[in-house]
Amino acid sequence: MIAGRDQRRRFSNKLMLVLAAAATVLALLPLGSILLYVATKGLLALNWDFFTQLPKPVGEPGGGLANAIVGTLILVGLASVMGIPLGILTGIYLAEFGRGRLAWLVRFTCDVMTGIPSIIVGIVVYGTIVVAMKRFSAIAGGVALAIIMLPLVTRTTEEMLKLVPNSLREASLALGASQWRTTYSIVLRSAMGGIITGSLLAVARVAGETAPLLFTALSSRYWHTGLDQRIASLPVYIYTYATTPYEEMHRLAWGAALVLVAMVLVTSIAARLAGRRAGGGR
């Protein structure tokens, strides 16, 4: 009787442990499938033209997505120039000066902002910048991406600064350095690795964003001509090409996906390495 119950207990123990491991394997299957398809179909699409040519009109074979690759880099660059410094400043405020209700509010806003769907950011930037400029533009796209980066950079900066031991700050202040000197050359410097990691992860995150670009930067079939003009990007091309009926465009979409995924993964891995080398990262 007791032996039977024990056996059942042992059996259900084994079963559940195996199920937990099986869940892990099952969840990783789609990852394998996605990476496999992106790699094989993407590689078939990549050639010299892909990186040097402009897209051809609908139905014509050949062509490339050079303008979209450049466009993605420009958009992400613009976003970084706006989002990273602002995020770091806000992070410094939270870690070094932020006490009381206002800091709580900023921290809370920041956390909640990471949860807002990115398409909402697109609508808002459309309503402010695109409407004011009366046209879709690289600037608008960059601002949308910067808004998405901002809370990510802020929170990692804060976390990293909090890891810096207080004795370092006290030592610097005791030597007669002013507070901003202390924060700038002592605290920020020792947290630099972690902050770079956080910023790069934010860059990787926004590089693949599509929804907010649909009504801010839109897209373009030509080379980039100015920050106040609409601009091509890889994510938007993947979206538009995947939803057309043309073989040739599907091929280019897979190529674009491979380039995009490679960019994102290389950035994330670089981020981790930067953090590890500087010792401050996760």
Partner 1 sequence: MQMPSPQSRRWGDSLFRGLTFLAALGMIGLMTVIAVQLIRGSQLAFTRFGLGFVTGSRWDPVHGAFGSLPLVYGTIVSSLIALLIAVPLSLGIAIYLAELAPHRVRTPVSFLVELLAAIPSVVYGLWGVFVLVPWVRTALEPFLQKTLGWLPFFQGTYYGFGMLAAGIILAIMIIPTISAVSREVLLAVPNSQREAMLALGATRWETIKMAVLPYGRSGILGAVILGLGRAIGETMAVTMVIGNRPQISPSVFELAQTIASIIANEFSEAFDELHLSALVMAGLVLFAVTLLLNILARLLVWRVARVPEGVTRE
46 binding partner 1? (CB under 8 A): no
Between 217 and 278, CB nearer to partner 1: 217
Contact 149/83 with Cβ under 8 angstroms? yes
Residue 76 has what DSSP assignment? H
Per CB under 8 A, does 63 bind partner 1?
no
Give me the residue label for tokens 């660059």: 77
Q: How far is the CB of 32 from partner 1 (least distance, A)?
A: 9
Among residue numbers 166 through 205, which ones bind partner 1 (CB under 8 A)? Answer: 176, 178-181, 183-184, 198, 201-202, 204-205
Smaller CB distance to partner 1: residue 56 or 250? 250
Q: Are 145 and 209 in contact (CB under 8 A)?
A: yes
Q: How far is the CB of 134 from partner 1 (least distance, A)?
A: 14
Answer for the pair 145, 212: CB distance below 8 angstroms, yes or no. Answer: yes
161 exposure class (CB count in 10 Å sphere: 0-12, 13-18, 19+): buried
Nearer to partner 1, 147 or 164 (CB): 147
84 binds partner 1 (CB under 8 A): no
Task: Report yes or no: 120 and 211 within 8 Å, Cβ to Cβ.
Answer: no
* 76 sits near partner 1 (criterion: CB under 8 A): no
Q: Per CB under 8 A, which of residues 248..267 are in contact with partner 1?
A: 250, 253-254, 257, 260-261, 264-265
Which residue number, 118 or 229, has a Cβ lying nearer to partner 1?
A: 118
Site string for partner 1, 7-36 (x = CB under 8 A): --xx-xx--xx-xxxxxx-xxx-xx-xx--
What is the rounded CA–CA span in Å between residue 145 and residue 76? 7
Told to check if 144 binds partner 1 by CB under 8 A, we report no
- Residue span binding partner 1 (CB under 8 A) among the ranges 56-64, 117-125, 164-172, 186-194: 117-125
The answer to the question of residue 223 lying near partner 1 (CB under 8 A) is no
Alpha helices in the chain (DSSP H): 2-45, 48-52, 66-92, 100-113, 118-125, 131-133, 138-163, 166-174, 179-181, 188-207, 211-214, 234-242, 247-278
Burial class (CB in 10 A: 0-12, 13-18, 19+), 42: buried
